[in-house]
Structure 1
Amino acid sequence: MQRQAKVQVKVWGEYACFTRPEFKVERISYPVMTPSAARGILEAIFWKPEFRYEIRQIGILSLGGQQAILRNELKSKQGKKPILIENDRAQRTSLILKNVAYWIVADIILTNRAVDPAAKYRDQFNRRVERGQCHHTPYLGTREFAAYFSSIGEDDVVQPVNMDIGTMLLDFAFIEDGSRKEMEFFRHDETGTRTVAGFAKPIFFEAKVENGWLYIPTQKYQQLYALEGQDALRVD
């Protein structure tokens, strides 16, 4: 059974914000899309618990520009009780990106739940891209910035951009831990799907754009799986 297969898609939008976590309250975007944002777009198009996406590289089709905006946000998280907007509204400045486009290349990596080859899921993904189908509207960093997507065209050319971004967020490892019940999330494994409690740990890498491509180190995903206590099936 084939354990992995490659997918790629073009995504673009009028606005984007890939928030740098070190700036805390104010939203300051990375200059390019993060791997976690790319994964979120792919999962919005097509996702099954039988596989995971590993982002291999992100190409810059349009770097776009920066724009500062002021917007209303909530100071607290939505819980079981309704929030009174007048008491929880906060105005915050955001430095966002405008008119961006990216070329996402990723591998479908099967999990221990998989019974079908990875090529089956790749073909399903490609059909959905061609038809413009998605489970929910994909977005560029934050939900208010909708993303459009299509197959890669002959006219799509990566810009010859080079930059050192520095430390960038790769993704979050969701770790099941009964002693740290900071959040609840779904765990998909060979036993099925269940709700567990635990916490999220961010994983970072040193990011660099070379000739328009941001390359993501494969070993970082192995670190993520080790933290979660789960293994994706790989063929290296």
Structure 2
Amino acid sequence: MSFCLEVQGDYACFTRPEMKVERVSYDFITPSAARSVFEAILWKPEIRWQVERIEILAPVRWISVRRNEVGAVISTRNVQTAMTAGQGQLGLYIEDERQQRAGLFLRDVRYRLHARITAVKGEALHNPAKYAEMFSRRASKGQCVNQPYLGCREFDARFRLVTSPHGEPEPCVDVDGDFGWMLYDMDFSRPADPKPTFFRARVVRGVLDLSGVEVRS
């Protein structure tokens, strides 16, 4: 069964993987980011979400922000030592590791996301309606497992369940054309070594149709 969500936020950043230092966003939401919005409302190991269509409802607007980030993580070796000895140095001093970086983000974004539930195992194979009803109930009440976000966790997403197309805004026709290769999702067929997959993002009058897209590693 397919569902539709309208998602919007003040800021978003769907980071291009080819940018190594500065964060630069794609022009609009990626399929993997769209999937994570649905999973934030309902995630079960028995199901998978398949994003079928993305409608861009607002013009693409950019904002450049310079912000402070931490340029290091706590050492895995220190963590293992602390677990073995029962004590250790696990602190990370922000003042020593602070880095100032620029980012090119999106602002005032708004999308309509279409996705369907795919049963993969267990009860979902025999009773898919249960999961559909569960999602509808949670989404209509604004409930979620964790706060949905738009690329970065600090950019929270507001969502609502769309039950009928009547009275809904039309996609932004100014967003049109070939936007090049875009991240599609991560391939977890080998859990120890996940690989990114990409597709050619072609938008027609504000609509990105993901049915039948060719995905490449």
TM-score range, shorter chain: 0.7 to 0.9
Looking at CA atoms only, which structure, 1 or 2, has the larger radius of gyration? 2
Could you list the structure 1 runs, at least 4 aligned residues long, displaced by more than 6 angstroms after superposition.
none
Write the letter of the residue equivalent to 2:185.
D
**Are 1:52 and 1:108, in contact at CA under 8 Å, matched by a contact in 2?**
yes
Match of residue 155 from structure 1:
168
Write the letter of the residue equivalent to 2:115.
A
Q: % of aligned pairs identical?
A: 41
Paired residue secondary structure (1:91): strand
- For residues 17 and 115 of structure 1, the distance between their equivalents in structure 2, rounded to whole angstroms, comes to 35
1:170 aligns with 2:170: no
Q: Whose RCO is larger (CA < 8 A, sep 6+)?
A: 2
Gaps of 5+ in 1: 178-197, 225-236
Gaps of 5+ in 2: 80-89
Q: Deviation of residue 175 (structure 1)?
A: 4.4
Instruction: Describe how 1:105-116 pairs up with structure 2 within 5 A.
Output: 105-113=114-122, 114-116=124-126
Instruction: Describe how 1:18-57 pairs up with structure 2 within 5 A.
Output: 18-57=14-53
> Residues 219 and 136 from structure 1, CA distance in 2 versus in 1: closer, same or farther, beyond 3 angstroms?
same
**For each residue in 1:199-232, what CA deviation from the matched residue of structure 2 results, as whole angstroms up to 9, or x when unmatched?**
22100011111121112244667x89xxxxxxxx
Paired residue secondary structure (1:124): helix
Paired residue secondary structure (2:194): strand
Match of residue 142 from structure 1:
152
- For residues 45 and 214 of structure 2, the distance between their equivalents in structure 1, rounded to whole angstroms, comes to 20
- For residues 171 and 14 of structure 1, the distance between their equivalents in structure 2, rounded to whole angstroms, comes to 24
Write the letter of the residue equivalent to 1:151.
L
> Residues 149 and 216 from structure 1, CA distance in 2 versus in 1: closer, same or farther, beyond 3 angstroms?
same
Match of 1:199 among 193, 201, 205: 193
Q: Deviation of residue 159 (structure 1)?
A: 1.5
- For residues 220 and 116 of structure 1, the distance between their equivalents in structure 2, rounded to whole angstroms, comes to 30
> Residues 70 and 48 from structure 1, CA distance in 2 versus in 1: closer, same or farther, beyond 3 angstroms?
same
> Residues 173 and 22 from structure 1, CA distance in 2 versus in 1: closer, same or farther, beyond 3 angstroms?
same
